[in-house]
Amino acid sequence: MPIQVDPYVFSAKFPEQCRLDLCRSRCCRFGVWVDLKEKEEILARQELFSHLLRPEAKDPESWFGAVEPDTDCPSGHAVETMDTAGACAFFHPDHGCVLQKGAAEAGLHEWEIKPRFCILFPLVVSEGTLTVDEDMKSLWCMKQKNRTHPVAHAVRKEVRYLFGKDAERKFLDASDPRGEEDAQSGKGNGSRWSSAPPPP
């Protein structure tokens, strides 16, 4: 199904880029919801990253929780990655996301087996609409003083990877450089675009 875009996305702000030296990868300290097919892909390709896992996260049985229905997932079902010793099972303090590092080390695209939820942050698909995840305000990147650039420009590569170049162009064209104030006052760019969902 096509994904609609919340007009707020076009005026929301974010740092110019992720700064792991400042945020300490805190967004990776929690479990995330992944599509059931993403879980299957991770399990099938664990040889790419198993050597990077923390000792307490080596057991594949500890990686995922229960499956739940979720209409925002292409498969219609989501499963949570588990918190292992205070962080997502796939997080390592020396490497960040082991799924991303493992794929890159193997010569694949760095996001080949990384969940869509993680790639998109701070964007999130909720009830069929692409919007900004404002629930993690304690993160460095989500503090108001650090949100200095249009979020559309900060995540353009991620949008291109998941939705294609045409969606990226529409996303950037529709972004409002005037900032959140106009959006909240009803003056912002109210455009919406639709795109095919990301590939499974």
CA 63 to centroid of chain Cα atoms: 18
Question: For residues 107 and 195, which has the higher predicted lDDT (pLDDT)?
Answer: 107
Query: What's the chain's Rg over C-alpha atoms?
Result: 17
* Average pLDDT of the residues of the chain: 80
Per-domain residue ranges for the chain? 1-19+118-200, 33-114
Contacts of 112 (CB under 8 A, 6+ apart): 103
Q: What is the pLDDT of residue 82?
A: 93
pLDDT tens-place string over residues 137-172: 777 677 888 787 788 788 888 888 888 888 778 777
Contacts of 137 (CB under 8 A, 6+ apart): 143
pLDDT tens-place string over residues 25-65: 677 777 888 999 999 999 999 999 999 999 999 999 999 99
At 176, is the pLDDT very low, low, confident or very high (cuts 50, 70, 90)? low
Q: Is the pLDDT assigned to residue 24 strictly greater than 80?
A: no
Helices and strands counted in the chain (H then E): 8, 12
Sequential DSSP letters for 66-86: EEEE-TTSTTSEEEEEPEETT
Q: Is the pLDDT assigned to residue 190 strictly greater than 80?
A: no
